[in-house]
Chains A and B, each alone.
Chain A
């Protein structure tokens, strides 16, 4: 964005004047009292307003207004201000003269009205700056740089780098720390930990009154907001817990019903089974059933101890015999298959490489004989015969190999077919085993076969008594026992859960009481009276916690900002300062307190204060331009320099002007000066010169005409 023109009407010594500017360097040159500073100050006055109206308003005039026209990015922005009434008119238009945004209203310098905020917001979005002091500190270079020295310079740089014009974050940090140190001696920053402060005194007074805390220990406190948050948390937790509890109750009830139901089923199954128990008299039925059950369980335990299944099927020996037979059959296939493999390996392969090499040798011999003309025909005949014999031998070998391989393949197919049939039978057997609850792997079946052979009598006994009934009984009994155990575990867990639930409910009630207490600020009936001292203690603790958090946050933000932005600023300033000093000093560094240092001899950092006034001015200039560049995001305003080089010698002035030239390459720079040397330089460099009335240039002359009237005059 560049400043295209400034229109002044009854503004300072200008009655009605339009001054145009261009991209690059613009030199406004004129003698003292020609109106250079007035023109320079017109820009911030129009943008933000002014509280020095008497300086700009001519005596006896009722009108004092000025307008700025900015141009760039396909847009034009016109800002017109009546400095007497502070009425502002801002219009943003595109290339086709369509209005993009518009403002019309009062916007005084320190106004806080809604229209004023709207205007500043628009300025911020359009030009990137909405604050006069920030504009003056960043884009505006006065001719009194000496006012920024030492701590003041550091403070100014801190504020500028922090993105605001008047806010020194170090000052805020100090204020927060001071406030914290005034409240308590317990602090993590190590300043004066001996003297008791208000917090410690309150704690001691409370202890003397019979309170609990004799030694002040800083704890996070339950303020009303904290309590509310806790209540919310507990309410949500309790709702979830209650739902879970109800689910648990329903589950336990279901388990109970299942247990009772299964007992009934077992009873009815026993009744319906035609056993000896049924024919027993009514009085003896129960004891007979119990005896039968105990016998069955004992037998089952013996089977399990022997490693046999609890309910071995009657066809178990038959199955195991089948499995052994299948294993034997599968084993018989191994030998012919391995013999077949070794036979295939032994079949000789045709040495086609040897045949090819030999043929190549014969061909080479024939070629040499032809080349040397030495019995060529004989050689050709011999080579042809030998090659034919070799090829014939190779062919015979190939055919005989294929015949043998075909025989082997046929035999392998036959064996594979048989093996497949056996494997099919093995799969069927595995399915039968699985259906009977027996293991199906070969290893398990072999082991089972050995066990069956060893415990044949036990198995016979089991089969005589009938296994299925026993299994049902044992299963139901064990199931009932398991259900009972599970039920017991569930009930104990539910009891624990219920206890936790009640504790949470109690805590919630306590919190609600505390909140009520805090909100009414009155002790409740039946509660311990809360004194003003205790309230003060709570307030202090809250204040201390907030202060600590604020200090940590601000310090963290400063560190983060310094890491990300100071590096860029130092780089830019170092490059610019290197150009001003002709490469003598190439690096400028701002420390954490924003005190500038300069790298000397490529290794030592020397504080800027130790340099001469001219060098300090140059450092300052480099930092300011670097700052403007770092802040530049494409919306920046022109840099305005109001005679900032009055302290520089001729050599430094030349370098500084080079820097000015460099700084303007990407934007616009307006330099105000009375120095005729700068005027000459402007003529050489073809800067745009705006002459103001005075002794140096005569702006009324229109003979030379055009935009370069100033340059031509100077030449």
Chain B
């Protein structure tokens, strides 16, 4: 299964000094202590949020 957490895209976003950067860092931090169910939920939530950020920026391919 392809994982969003741990991908290069997420790592790049985590370095941003923005709300999005803080958001990704928070998710990564929570993922370290999450069990498998929580991890799946976190990943889906992050995917949803990043998608919406992209839509806002008009950068959806």
Contacts and interface: CB of A to CB of B under 8 A. Distances in A.
B42 interface: yes
B5 to A, nearest CB: 13
B23 A167 contact: no
Given A171-B56, A172-B53, A233-B36, A162 B19 contact: yes
A274 B8 CA distance: 85
A363 interface: no
Contacts of B53: 164, 167, 172
A229 B40 contact: yes
B10 interface: no
A546 interface: yes
Interface stretch (A403-411, A551-559, A672-680): A551-559
B18 A546 contact: no
Interface string B27-57: 1000000001101111011101100110011
Contacts of A352: none
B58 interface: yes
A166 B26 contact: no
A229 B53 CA distance: 28
B37 A557 contact: no
Interface string A161-189: 11110111101100110000000000000
Interface stretch (A91-99, A220-228, A597-605): A220-228
B12 to A, nearest CB: 9
A545 interface: yes
A59 to B, nearest CB: 31
Contacts of A110: 58
A325 B26 CA distance: 79
A232 interface: yes
Secondary structure type dominating chain B contacts: helix
B-side interface size class: 20 to 34
Contacts of A550: 45-46, 48-49
Nearest to B43: A225
- What's the dominant secondary structure at chain A's contact region? helix
A232 B41 contact: no
Interface in B1-31: 1, 16-23, 26-27
Nearest to A162: B19
Contacts of B36: 226, 229-230, 232-233
B41 A545 contact: yes
A471 to B, nearest CB: 56
A168 B41 contact: no
Given A229-B36, A553-B23, 17 more contacts: A169-B19, A169-B20, A229-B37, A229-B39, A546-B48, A547-B48, A549-B42, A549-B44, A553-B46, A554-B49, A556-B23, A557-B20, A558-B19, A561-B18, A561-B19, A564-B22, A631-B17
Ranked 7 nearest A-B pairs via Cβ: A163-B18, A229-B36, A557-B23, A549-B45, A162-B19, A550-B45, A167-B56
18 contacts: A112-B59, A112-B61, A163-B16, A163-B17, A163-B19, A163-B21, A226-B36, A226-B37, A229-B40, A232-B36, A549-B45, A550-B49, A554-B19, A556-B26, A557-B26, A560-B26, A561-B19, A561-B22
